Amino acid sequence: MDTVESVTIELLNALPKLKRIILSPPFTLEMADYCVQSDALRSFSCRKHRNASPRPMFTNPDSFQSHTNCASHSLSSLFVTLPFRDAVKFIRRLTTPEKIKEFGITSILPETRNSFATLVTTVAEVFTGLRTLGLYSPPGLRSGTKEGIDIRVLAPLLHHSELHHLDIAHGEPLDLQYQDLEDMALAWPSIKTLNLNPMPASCSPSSLTLEALQPFARHSHDLRHLGLYLDTTNSSMDSLRDCPRFQNLGALAVAMSAIQETSLIAMILSRIFPADCHLSHFRPVDVRFMPKEYGNVFLSRVKQWAEVVRLLPFFIQARLEERMTIN
């Protein structure tokens, strides 16, 4: 670790005019101190893929309190990998946090509701000009928390009306209700990307139905990508009957959601999708971390959503032809 650290810092010192730095772990406080104190630096990223197996990132996380404040006059983009409790300490040391526009934390640990809440509160308080936020707790690991991440945890972010991109990943489904999504859609009128934990590691039932799409179709006119974890098993032909079409949605990611009737879901979605919108189809990337029964359920759901992906273009085309005939 010392060799990697010293060589990295020596290299960075030799390049004082760097505007963008992307590092791979291991990542130490000394590296962080150098990077965030560089006057030329605008973007700093030190993270690994959030689905990678965890390993320590800091040689001594408790030494945060003994380090000087981080001062960067140019830094506007900051992405790091570390536990949320240490991220809070790191954020508090920044002297010009109002200049940060993009911020992302990938934890090496399954984070609890309390640690999530503390980080969200700190981020909302410190980063007043935030446009992009990513909060990632390893989705391949069970957190063991009995109380899910609900609107009380995320509420501080509702005051950031200029938020453009929000991406949340956690082991358990978010505990959100329809009204919570309505509040989000109204609070973030310029939101372009919104991923609300569409791929949890748990098969716990979702509190959201297909109707959860409606607030964003009504209010989020700039939305390009939406990711949700839903329960569509009780959907009917009347589902989303009064929902307007999305204006600019390019992709919807729901492929871990519970589903039964593939043809019905494809037909319903065809009513609200723009002609060029597609359903994001992905596979569980970390099935090895899941209990076997979860992995089997997720793989079954992926196959069903793959059928929706196959059927959807035909239903959308039929809708377009129907409108042309009426007009």
Each residue's pLDDT tens digit, 271-316: 999 988 988 865 555 455 566 667 778 888 888 999 999 999 999 9
Token pair 């939406």 in the structure block, residue: 226
Contact 265, 308 (CB under 8 A): yes
Give the β-pairing of 251-253 and 43-46: unpaired
Q: Which segments of 83-182 are extended strands (E)?
A: 102-106, 132-136, 165-169
Q: Smallest Cα–Cα separation from 191: which of 128, 135, 248, 254?
A: 248
- Tell me, yes or no, if the pTM score tops 0.75: yes
pLDDT bracket for residue 4 (50, 70, 90): low
Side-chain-facing half-sphere of 175: CA atoms under 13 Å: 9
Mean pLDDT of the chain: 81
Distance CA 193, CA 94 (A): 26
pLDDT at 117: 97
**Between residues 34 and 71, the one the model is more confident about:** 34
Which top CATH class is 2-172? Answer: alpha beta
**Between residues 145 and 84, the one the model is more confident about:** 84
